[in-house]
Amino acid sequence: MNFSAHRSMTVLAVAVSTLVLAACGKKDAASEAQVIKIGHVGPVSGAIAHLGKDNENGARMAIEELNAAGLKMGDKIIKFELLAEDDAADPKQGTAAAQKLVDAKVNGVIGHLNSGTTIPASQLYNAAGIPQISPSATNPKYTRQGYAGAFRVVADDVHLGGTLGKYAVETLKGKSIAVIDDRTAYGQGVAEEFKKAVAAAGGSVVGHEFTTDKASDFNAILTTLKAKKPDVVFFGGMDAVAGPMLRQMKSLGINAKFMGGDGICTAELAKLAGDAMKDEGVICAEAGGVEGEQKVGMDKFRADFKAKYNAEVQVYAPYVYDAVKVMATAMVNAGSADPAKYLPALKSINYKGVTGNIVFDEKGDIKNGALTLYTYKGGERAQLAVVR
């Protein structure tokens, strides 16, 4: 081999080595991205799986947008990873799901959907020092346990049930009001607050009956209430039970207005109730709401969600989306995904989301939380008013 050929091969080898090293360097830089694990829990199986999937899709949408933004902590790019679990709206499965997330050492949790799963799960997250933001649990007990890391981005049952109770008496002019609840932490809680508000407004509750969140036959309790001639029936529970209940009310000839909280205030209710859904026959409230200039952001979110998932927003997806963004913003502001380090930033957050401005009080509840009152016309939800 002559000198010239040898020199050419040496130059080529050096060039190849440089390219290999550069490629390895790029790979190493990519592998150095800081992975931040966000847990999400909701019922993606069972009777209210449509609500759980709605929540999970809201979380995925936020995670994808955060990763596309190329956020950094120090000189490291952040990569958010969603660890999604199913609690089937069952408290036992909820605590099992929570333990899985604790064992996986997630940096924070968004969830659960139901109060009945959120409250027992919160004990595990608190013990592990993991912050938790619920996008939808409204039972007051959740944020009144004294847990430093428990937050929610919607108004609670005191506000929800209270507003509906006052509305039943003062606006619907209900004279004979009946109550049914499903004995869950959510259903029972919102029903009791509704009753308190009815009494405070000078109304009369003529009967209070009970069912479960898995029941499908309500003839016995509805027949009992029919004898009391109610003009308003309030149900504390979810849409999967409310739909069949409306059908059976129709078959029994009960023509009362039907009321409920955010658990029934879904896009799915009209399908579940079928021809029993009369125009303006149902009044419900969603624990949240925007108006004026803020409505533009919410409308855009709903359009983007529909385009991405080919599905209408049920109820809580925007609140989950905002909750993920709030948690991520607190981490970035604190310069750390360590729960102990970003918790103070979460407590002091002031975040403008698609659901409105998010600021927490000393308990972890959203300040100045809104409610949106809805009815149904032509099988579609129609907004009545946003109240605070």
The C-alpha atoms of residue 218 and residue 246 are separated, in whole angstroms, by 10
Is the same domain home to 192 and 307? Answer: no
Cα 218 from Cα 72, distance rounded (Å) = 55
Strand partners, 234: 179, 259
Same domain (yes/no): 122, 94: yes
Rg (CA), the chain: 25
Are residue 276 and residue 202 in the same domain, yes or no? Answer: yes
Whether residue 122 lies inside any domain: the answer is yes
CA 186/CA 264 separation, integer angstroms: 12
Ranges 17-21, 123-127, 227-231, 302-306: which has the least confidence: 17-21
> Do 206 and 142 share a domain, yes or no?
no
Do the domain assignments include residue 236? yes
Q: What is the pLDDT of residue 117?
A: 98
Q: Which of 237, 257, 286 is the last residue of a domain?
A: 286
Please tell me whether the peptide bond between 6 and the residue prior to it is cis, using omega within 30 degrees of 0. no
Residue 7's pLDDT is 44
CB atoms within 10 A of CB 176: 17
Q: Same domain, yes or no, for 183 and 248?
A: yes
Whether 110 and 51 share a structural domain: yes
Pair (118, 202) in one structural domain? no
What is the side-by-side order of every strand in the sheet holding 72-73? 72-73, 76-86, 34-42, 108-110, 132-134, 150-152
CA atoms lying within 13 Å on the CB side of residue 171: 12
Domain check: are 234 and 258 in the same one? yes
The predicted pLDDT at position 383 comes to 92
Answer whether residue 272 is part of any domain: yes
Hey, is 77 helix, strand or coil?
strand
Give the pLDDT of residue 328.
98
Tell me, yes or no, whether 98 and 194 share the same domain: no
Per-residue pLDDT reduced to its tens digit, 98-127? 999 999 999 999 999 999 999 999 999 999
> What is the pLDDT, as a whole number, of residue 203?
96
Please name the residue that has the structure tokens 């308003």: 232
Residue 61 and residue 322 in contact, taking contact as beta carbons nearer than 8 Å: no
Same domain, 235 and 324: no
Task: Report strand pairing: 150-152 vs 132-134.
Answer: parallel
pLDDT tens digits, one per residue of 125-167: 999 999 999 999 999 999 999 999 999 999 999 999 999 999 9
CATH number at residue 233: 3.40.50.2300
What would the pLDDT profile of 276-309 be if each residue is shown by its tens digit?
A: 999 999 999 987 888 888 889 999 999 999 999 9
192-224, pLDDT tens digit by residue? 999 999 999 999 999 999 999 999 999 999 999
At 26, list the tokens: 């790029």
Percent of the chain with pLDDT over 90: 85
Do 228 and 176 touch, CB atoms closer than 8 A? yes
Confirm whether 18 is domain-assigned.
no
- Look at residue 13 and tell me if it is in a domain: no
In a domain, residue 326? The reply is: yes
The whole domain housing 342 covers 34-154+292-368
90 contact partners, CB below 8 Å, separation of at least 6: 43, 46, 117
- Band (pLDDT 50/70/90 cuts) for residue 20 is very low
Inter-residue contact 133 to 325 (CB < 8 Å)? no
The CA distance from 90 to 86, in Å, is 9
How many whole angstroms separate alpha carbon 134 and alpha carbon 222?
A: 33
Give a yes or no: residue 377 inside a domain.
no
Task: Give me the mean pLDDT over the 339-346 stretch.
Answer: 98
Average pLDDT over residues 69-89: 95
Q: What is the pLDDT of residue 91?
A: 97
How many other C-beta atoms can be found within 10 angstroms of the C-beta atom of residue 128?
A: 17
166 C-beta neighbours (distance < 10 Å), count: 17
Alpha-helical (H) ranges within the chain are 3-31, 49-68, 91-103, 115-128, 157-170, 185-200, 219-226, 239-251, 269-273, 294-309, 317-334, 339-347
Q: 271 and 335: one domain? A: no
What per-residue confidence (pLDDT) applies to 10? 42
Spatial separation of the C-alpha atoms in residues 338 and 312, rounded to whole Å? 35
Does residue 27 fall inside a structural domain?
no
Per cent of the chain over pLDDT 70 is 92
> If pLDDT is split at 50, 70 and 90, which confidence band does 5 have?
very low
Q: How many domains does the chain have?
A: 2
Q: What is the mean pLDDT of residues 361-367?
A: 96
Backbone angles phi, psi at 311, to 5 degrees: -150, 150
Number of Cβ within 10 Å of residue 191's Cβ equals 28
The token pair at 128 is 């592990």
One-letter amino acid at 123 equals: Q
Q: Which residues contact 29 (CB under 8 A, 6 or more apart)?
A: none
The three-class DSSP label of residue 145 is coil
Are residues 57 and 148 located together in one domain of the fold? yes
